[in-house]
Amino acid sequence: MEKENIMKNRMQRKAQIKMGETIAIMFVFFILLVVGAIFYMNLQRATVTREISEAYELRAVELSQVISFLPEAQCTESNVVKASCFDIYKLIGLSKVSNTPKGINLYSREFGTTTIRLIKLYPSGGEWVLYDNRKANFTSAPVTNIPIMLYNTTSDRYYFGVLEVTTYS
């Protein structure tokens, strides 16, 4: 009988040791699972941030395309429209009209909550705000610069400029 009790105690100790090993393995497994989940969430957050940034840049390029096809800004020579070319005098008129309350109301459907500036870089500086409708409480405002050609109709000269599109979110 005593031998049986000793054997039973040994078996119970072995079972307790096996149970402890199992619990330790499960603990390590869950720690690895949590570390993997945190790593995956950080990776997903970085991917989503990059996709949002790309979406803003795409929206800015779309807006530049919309602006380049506006008759209020296009360069024409003998009724032929030039690509990526803006008439300086038309832009001055557009900036005067588009920044009035009526102009913001007219262009808000196409441009939304953005600021569109045209900056003449070469040969001398100049700047026109074509549209400015800022969001009241924006969280970010990425700026996209698009190179363009400016045309002065009176002197028949071309200049280099940048279309700066700020998209508010």
Across the range 11-34, mean pLDDT stands at: 90
pLDDT tens-place string over residues 110-130? 888 889 998 999 888 788 898
Residue 56 lies in a domain: yes
Residue 20 lies in a domain: no
Structure-token pair, residue 156: 């028949």
Q: How far is CA 69 from the centre of its chain?
A: 23
Domain housing 117: 44-167
* Predicted pLDDT of residue 14: 81
Please report which helix (H) or strand (E) contains residue 58, including its range: helix 2-68
Residue 149 and residue 144: Cα distance in Å, rounded? 16
Task: Name the pTM for this structure.
Answer: 0.69
Residue 159 lies in a domain: yes
pLDDT confidence tier of residue 1, bands split at 50, 70 and 90: low
Q: In total, how many domains does the chain have?
A: 1
Residue 14 lies in a domain: no
Q: What type of residue is 58?
A: L
pLDDT > 90? residue 23:
yes
Question: Sign of the CA dihedral 13, 18, 24, 30?
Answer: negative
pLDDT tens-place string over residues 73-112? 888 877 888 877 888 888 888 888 888 888 888 888 888 8
